[in-house]
Amino acid sequence: MKGKTVNKQTKSRLEQCAFDLSSIVMKWYKTKCANEKNFGSLSLYSQFLRSSTSIGANLAEAKASRSDADYKSKICIALSEANEARYWLELLFENDEITEQTADEMDELLSMAVSMLFATKNKVETKING
């Protein structure tokens, strides 16, 4: 692979936001898991990793949707994953597993993603319903 970017296509603002969130969470996850031996903590970290990276994965799937209804479904799944990620972020922060600075950065990206996902969902619903 040449360079760091595999997919050279231009990302939308929403896709870039989800990608940035995934990158930050992955870096945090690697750091936290490096010396963690507690299975319970590792499980919580993994839940947060899965839900936060699933946002971007569902957006990628939405690009290949076969219909507006399929597209809306993928957007709704991404929105659900964003809400789940917010839950894990709050839980991890309240239990001192994430620094305030990192939590704020993640929360800002999650808030932006949720806002854009809602707008996208509403736009597609309008298109579907005429």
Lowest mean pLDDT: which of 34-48, 60-74, 86-100, 105-119? 34-48
Show the tokens assigned to 122. 């509403």
**Contact by Cβ (8 Å): 55, 78:** yes
Q: Which CATH superfamily is domain 55-130 in?
A: 23S rRNA-intervening sequence (1.20.1440.60)
User: pLDDT value at position 114?
Assistant: 97
Lowest mean pLDDT: which of 22-31, 66-75, 88-97, 121-130? 121-130
Q: What is the pTM assigned to this prediction?
A: 0.88
Can you say whether the dihedral through the CA atoms of 24, 26, 6, 13 is positive or negative? Answer: negative
Q: How many C-beta neighbours within 10 Å does residue 93 have?
A: 17
**Contact by Cβ (8 Å): 44, 88:** yes
DSSP state of 12: P
